Structures are given as structure tokens and as C-alpha cells.
Amino acid sequence: MTHTCTDPSGEGALPLADVELYERLKGWFIEDRRAQSEWYRDAEVDFAFHAGHGQWEEADRARLKGQNRPCVTFNRIAPAIAAVVGMEVANRQEVRFIPRTTSDRSTAVDAPTGQVVTQAPPGADDQGPAELYTGAAIYLRDQCNAEDEESDAFQDAAICGMGWTETRVDYDDDPSGRIVIDRIDPLEMVWDARAVKRNLVDARRFHRVREIDIDVARQMFPDFADDELDAGWARSLAGEGTPHDREAARNYASGESSTEAKRGTVTIVECAWSELDVTYRVANPTTGEVLTIAAESELKSLRERAKAAGIELAVQAERKRVQRHAFLGGALLEAGPAQAQAGFKFKPITGYRDRNRRQWVGLVRAMRDPQRWANALFSSVLNSIQTSGKGIMAERGAFDNDQQAETDWANAGRIVWLKTGALSGPGPRVTPKPPALMPTGVEALMQFALQSLRDVSGINVEMLGLADRGQAASLEYQRRQAATTILAPFFDGLRRYRKDQGRLLLHLIRDYLSDGRLVRIAGPEYERYVPLIRRDDVLEFDIVVDDAPASPNQKEASWAILQQMLPLLLKQPLSIEAWGKLLKASPLPGSLVSEFIETAAQDRQRQAELQSHQAQLPQQPKSDVASQARLQAELQKLDVEAALKQQELQLRRYEADLNAAISLRQIEERQAARFCKPAQSSAASGA
């Protein structure tokens, strides 16, 4: 018998299991959202500070405007966050899959030696599939602009302490499916309130609250009424819903009365959670038969029957964590297994840990007070400059027209008329107002407030690129590295995110995209399209996060090392392929490097053709002397062309080395001139 229960809208009946699941997920959401309510308020303030429009308290702003005083904002937080994000963009990393084991290997005994050796058939090693999946991951991430989305999520983490992305296989634009990695607004996410580890790796549930158009919601869930699509309880819990919301009136459909008014958008809560799925393997000792049972009630019944028959069963419980997801509105809209069982599709990037409040905070949290004080002090100084010495003190009746004098006094082009005798009386009847003196130490307080912005965040002027003092390049590099060390928790969270996201991406590629489609694989000496075919025995990979070879900083560091090795390399007879690999690590334009490699490949092909022709010459008839002479002339011509091409490539290489040496010399001269300039100035002043 199927038990039913009336749904919250009162318009139908839902299965009891669905009602229980809906209430359980709703309870989880309410518990987690209330536990993190303080973080959401702080995060909104952090984003407002970063944008520059929330750096004044509303009461202070209203008071200054009421006193006709300036309310100045110099946003120094945004450049600091931009410097941290720029460091991530300039040093982007990529995920590579390294084979942990090899498959299809067998052992055999070597007859001459009697030793046991391991044999593997051709292609059995996992190195090939590892390169294939690595290239496929790079190709698919490039198709969905994953790097840009992850940089935006890292910026969110630097601002408020939490950055989020969603990784899924989408079928809207491509019926065969494509990988999509999107950045998510942190204020849309609700996570397990009991999770305390970095990147929330110990979380067992996540929720996402979205406002979507009601037309889109109707297409997603066509079997539900409009009232069932809207999770108004989630909106009210976030403080956005009230009994009478005037702002929501803009979303009302035209022609509807106030009682029948409906919002143009609805709130949908997407839930993702994991639970343990227990199965039982039951073995009959007498027959050797093994059964797999999922329900505990069925196991209990089987045990009773076996006990009655005098048979003792061997039972082993197997626990497996299963990922599930659901959509909640006014009712349970959809529920089922998650798209990937390798982990949650929601991946966070965390910042600093606030242990007592169980929160994750960003750089802006500590920079709020220094920014507020810098704004307040500068506004006070500006008001003092504007108002000091600008007024006068006068007796009543000194002017012909007091109101006109008050208007024209500060206008240098107007005459302020006084009454007869006002200036020639026994004493001055009009005297300038004494100027207001600046409080002692205001300048030092302003400098302290500005310096505190860098002290509390760890972002120094070298990292911002604003160090205008003359210092050695090595010292500036060391100070920049020191700032990077202070910000290590953010980059550590990003590195851990890439590992978790790489595992999820690997399973999505294998389970949903390994259908024979072509993906572009770029190797050390090749670039080609290969079919992506599913293999169930090659998922034992280690996830390695490495610097992307295309990042500018990585190329500059590699080229600085190679420049020291060039004198030794020039003495070695390196092949063209070896020089091509070295040039890929240089900061030279990619088009020039590609042209060099392509030309070298063409020369190698011509040389192979020459050798092939020379091998075929003895097989020709001796009587064909004229054709042999023509062929020999053509071979000589090809040799000359190949030599000219080789000489041209060497000239280009020497020209590139010369330009690099000239640039280095110019940099050294500018640095020498910079250090010599103060000495010359001091010598001139002494003279």
C-alpha cells in the first residue's frame, strides 16, 4: 500500500518518501543557512568595500552631508586584490594525470637465467592513456574558458574568503555533451555547517539558492504548478522576503490584482549531498553461492530462513558513499543520483580560517578599519583646508546689505559695500577670522592608516608595483616573494581545488565524453586530433598540479636559467629538435618558435628524401646516363637550398641572441644610471 501526504501547496498528494526527503533537505538547508548568517552579512560588506561604495557607514555619511562636509573615498582595497589576482593569472597552473600503475601485465620465467620478469603487451602501459586524458582535460577546459572562471572564483576567495565553481556536463548547446566550468556567486552557496577543513573537503552537503525566471523554471519542471516552483521559505530565511515587499512589485505581471500578483522570478534550491549506501554480500558455505542484497529487511528474512534450515550464512557489509542531488521549490521538484560519483560538482576555494566562528575570511576583512580611518582622516583634513581662514567676524550693521555681503564676500570679483565709517571709526569694525590650525600629528595618522592597509594584508608596495625607491632588483624580488609567502593560504587553497576538480573532471570525461569524439592533443613534438575512447582500467592516476608552460613568469624564469646554460649548450652538437624544445621555454613569440620548428621539420624531410633518392640510384639502368645526370643536378640543388635554409635559421638564432644581449645591456645601463643619478646630484650640490 502506498502512503500519500498532501504537499505544502495543498493542491495534490506526494509519495511519503518524497515528503520525508523534502523535509529532511529543507531542514538541512535551514540549519546550515542560520549557522552562516553572520558570514553572509560580512561577505556583502566585503564586496561593497572592494567595489568602493560601502566604505562609509550610512550614519557617518548622512552626518557629513548634513554638515555640508566632504565625504571622500580613495579605494585602496581594489588595487591590493587586483595584485593578488594578477599574480594568480600570471602564474596559472594546469593539472596533469600521472599513471599510478600499469595494466595488463603478466609475469614469466626467463629460460636462460631462470629469473622472473614482468611482461606487458604493446600499449598496455597507462602512460599513453594518461597523456590522452591530460590532453583531453586541457582541450575541454580551454573550450569552456575554465581558467577565466577559476580566476574569478579566486578573486571571490581573496575578497570574502570563499570562491565557488560548478563543474558539469551540459547538453543545452551540444547534444553530445560538453564540459562546463562556471563561477558561482558565493552568496548563492550554503554549505555544511560542520565542515571545518580547507576547501570544505569534509562537507557532506551543499546547497545553491538561485533566482531564475519563472518561464525557465516552467520548462525545467513542467509537471509542477507555479506555487510549487517557488521556495519562498529560502528567500525569507535570507532576509529577502517580507510580508509586503515593495521591490518585488516590479516583478509582478501586468493586469494582475494585488492578491493574485506573482513574481517574475522564482527561487530554486539545488541540493547536493552524499550518503552511505550499504549492501550485503551473503555467502552460503554449503553451496558456495554468493548473493548481493541491498535491503536490510531482505537480509533479515534470509537469515531467518537459513536459521530454520540449519544453515549459517556468512555476511559481509560493504559501504559505499553515493552522491545525490535534488531541486527544491515549494515541493520536491526532482531527486536522483548525481551526475558524477567522484565528488560534488560544487568546488570551493577557501581563504583564512576563523576557527571560533567557523568561517572563512578574505583579505578585505582586515583592511576595513584602516580604509575607514584613511577616508575619515582625509575628509577631516580636506574640510579643515576648505573652511580655515575663509570667514570673517563682523559687527551687526557694518554692511549696507548683510545678506548680499554674505553672498559676495568669498567672490574676489565683487565689491562688498560697508556703511560709512565702518573702516574709519575708532576701531576696526570688520576683522579677518583667525585661521584654524591643523591638529598636530594628522599627517602622521594618515600615513599610519595607509601603511596599516599593507601591514594587515601583507601586500607590500613591491607586489603592487609601486616601489619608487632605488633598490636592487634582487632585493625587490625577495620582498615580492615575502608577500607571496604571507598569501600562501590562498594559493594553497587554489592548488587543492585544482586537484579535487581534476579528479572530478577525469571521471566526467570517462563516463560522459569518451564516445569517440576527437580532441586535440599537444605533445612535445606533435599536435594532433585523437578519438576519446572509454577505458575502464585506466583511472588509477595521480593528480599533479604543475605550472602552465605558457605563463609569462614561468617562461621568464626558465629562460633566465637557460641563458646561463647557453655557452655550454652551444659547444654540444644538439639536434634541431632539442633546440626547438629549448626555444619553447623562451619568451620569444610563439609564431617565431613555430616557424623555426616547422622549417627544421621540412629540412629533415628533404634530407630523408635525398637519402631515399640516393638509395635508389644504383638500381637504375646504367644506360640512362642523362637521367642520372639530371637527378644528380636536382640533388645538388636541393643540397644547396637546404644549406641556405640552415644558414638562415642560424642567422635568425644569432639575431635573437644578439637582441636579448642588447636588451640585457640596456637594462643594466638604466639600472646603473638610476644608482649613479643620486650620487651625481649630491656631488653637484656640494660643488
Q: Which residue, of 358, 391, 414, is where some domain finishes?
A: 358
Position 404 in a domain: no
Higher-pLDDT residue of 635 and 52 is 52
Position 526 in a domain: no
Cβ atoms of 351 and 490 closer than 8 Å: yes
> Pairing state of beta strands 359-361 and 290-293?
unpaired
pLDDT at 326 over 60: yes
Position 372 in a domain: no
The mean predicted confidence, pLDDT, of the chain is: 75
Alpha carbon distance 658, 663 (integer Å): 9
Percent over 90 (pLDDT), the chain: 23
pLDDT at 538 over 60: no
Alpha carbon distance 359, 352 (integer Å): 8
Position 212 in a domain: yes
Alpha helical stretches, state H, 231-389: 232-237, 296-308, 364-387
Position 677 in a domain: yes
- Biggest CA–CA distance in the chain, Å, is 138
pLDDT at 108: 46
Position 96 in a domain: no
- Name the grid cell of 258: 494585488
Alpha helical stretches, state H, 465-551: 473-486, 488-508
Q: What residues make up the domain containing 273?
A: 4-57+133-358
Handedness of CA 406, 407, 411, 415 (dihedral sign): negative
**Residue 58 CA from chain centroid, whole number:** 33
Handedness of CA 68, 69, 71, 72 (dihedral sign): positive
pLDDT at 362: 93
Can you tell me whether residue 360 is helix, strand or coil? Answer: strand
pTM of the model: 0.69
Q: Which residue, of 309, 343, 358, is where some domain finishes?
A: 358
Q: How confident is the model at residue 45 (pLDDT cuts 50, 70, 90)?
A: very high
If you average pLDDT over residues 116-140, what whole number do you get?
A: 66
Residues 66-88 pLDDT 10s: 877 888 888 888 988 998 898 88
Q: Give φ, ψ of 451 to 5 degrees.
A: -65, -30
Residues 6+ positions from 368 with CB-CB distance below 8 Å: 45, 46, 49
If you average pLDDT over residues 278-291, what whole number do you get?
A: 76
Alpha carbon distance 29, 19 (integer Å): 15
Q: Which residue, of 340, 358, 376, is where some domain finishes?
A: 358
Position 463 in a domain: no
Q: How confident is the model at residue 189 (pLDDT cuts 50, 70, 90)?
A: very high
Cβ atoms of 100 and 541 closer than 8 Å: yes
Position 478 in a domain: no
If you average pLDDT over residues 296-300, what whole number do you get?
A: 76
pLDDT at 92 over 70: yes
Residues 591-603 pLDDT 10s: 666 666 677 777 7
Residues 303-323 pLDDT 10s: 788 778 777 777 777 788 889
Number of folded domains that form the chain: 2
Alpha carbon distance 523, 528 (integer Å): 8
